[in-house]
Structure 1
Amino acid sequence: MNTDQIAGKWKQMKGEAKIAWGKLTDDDLDIAEGHKDKLTGKIQERYGRTKEEAQREVDDFFSRY
Structure 2
Amino acid sequence: MSRPLAEIIRKNWRQLAGLARVVWDELTLDELIKSEGDAQKLTTLIEQRYQMPRGDAEKQVLSFFERHRTS
Task: Give me the whole-angstrom Cα distance separating, in 1, the residues matched to 2:18 and 2:42.
Answer: 14
- Greater share of helix residues, 1 or 2? 1
What pairs with 1:22-41 in structure 2 (closer than 5 Å)?
Answer: 22-41=25-44
Unaligned runs of 5+ in 2: none
Task: Point out the more displaced range, 16-25 or 3-12.
Answer: 3-12
Task: State the TM-score, normalized to the length of structure 1.
Answer: 0.90
RMSD over equivalenced CA pairs, Å: 1.1
The aligned amino acid for 2:34 is I
Equivalent pairs, count: 65
Match of 1:3 in 2: 6
Match of 1:53 in 2: 56
| Greater RCO (Cα-Cα under 8 Å, separation 6 or more) | 2
Moved over 3 A (4+): none
Percentage identity across paired residues of the two chains: 35
TM-superposed CA distance for 1:60, in Å, is: 0.3
Task: State the TM-score, normalized to the length of structure 2.
Answer: 0.83
TM-superposed CA distance for 1:5, in Å, is: 1.7
Larger Rg: 2
Task: Give me the whole-angstrom Cα distance separating, in 1, the residues matched to 2:38 and 2:57.
Answer: 13
